[in-house]
């Protein structure tokens, strides 16, 4: 099974983000845009794992969540990795918050204890909106213009759970299934 740990957002937030990104989709229709229902924040990609790994991962996520309060945050600003001129991924950022960084760190440590390698890159919390398979310079310039026009976009969100997700690859894109939710403390 292809597994990952994620923060999922409610349907209204996913809808608002998807609608706000409409001008970006119109400017760059050749990109592989993520469907509204699949918008999420990945905390840890675990790749292919045996079914027997699920209980241990769920227990580890429960232990991490039990030590953390829910984190008020926001989705804001469109961007691209590494940048719009050479974009590979188009995203909306998650507001920087030390509590979210600590949650991510604790997820990494818990997964490392189960034998998963620690991510070498720094944590840059974001929600992937599109992947660039065949870069078209004209499309990328139009995309950058639209992203600048929407610079003030901001959607309040609350990180309330860490979800263990299964990803099944298909021709029309991956299908996600929530296997387990670990709820953060509510204050």
Contact predicate 46/4, CB 8 Å:
yes
β 89-94/71-81 pair status: antiparallel
DSSP state of 83: -
d(CA 137, CA 143): 10
143, 28 Cβ separation under 8 angstroms: yes
Q: Which two tokens stand for residue 73?
A: 């945050």
Q: Which of 40, 68, 104, 116 is catalytic?
A: 40
| Of 68, 104, 116, 126, catalytic | 126
Is 105 a catalytic site residue? no
Name the token pair of 21.
Answer: 């990104």
Catalytic-residue membership of 126:
yes
Which residues are identified as catalytic? 40, 126
């Amino acid at each position: 099974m292809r597994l990952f740990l994620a923060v999922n957002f409610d349907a209204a937030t996913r809808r608002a983000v998807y609608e706000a990104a409409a001008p970006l989709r119109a400017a760059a229709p050749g990109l592989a845009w993520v469907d509204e229902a699949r918008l999420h924040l990945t905390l840890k990609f675990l790749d292919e794992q045996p079914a027997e790994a699920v209980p241990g991962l769920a227990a580890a996520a429960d232990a991490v969540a039990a030590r953390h309060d829910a984190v008020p945050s926001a989705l804001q600003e469109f961007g691209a990795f590494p940048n719009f001129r050479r974009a590979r991924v188009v995203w909306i950022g998650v507001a920087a918050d030390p509590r979210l960084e600590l949650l991510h760190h604790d997820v990494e440590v818990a997964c490392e204890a189960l034998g998963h390698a620690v991510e070498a890159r720094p944590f840059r919390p974001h929600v992937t909106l599109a992947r660039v398979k065949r870069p078209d310079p004209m499309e990328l310039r139009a995309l950058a213009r639209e992203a600048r026009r929407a610079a003030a976009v901001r959607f309040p969100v609350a990180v309330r759970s860490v979800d263990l997700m299964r990803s099944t690859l298909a021709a029309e894109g991956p299908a996600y299934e929530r296997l387990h939710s670990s709820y953060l403390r509510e204050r």
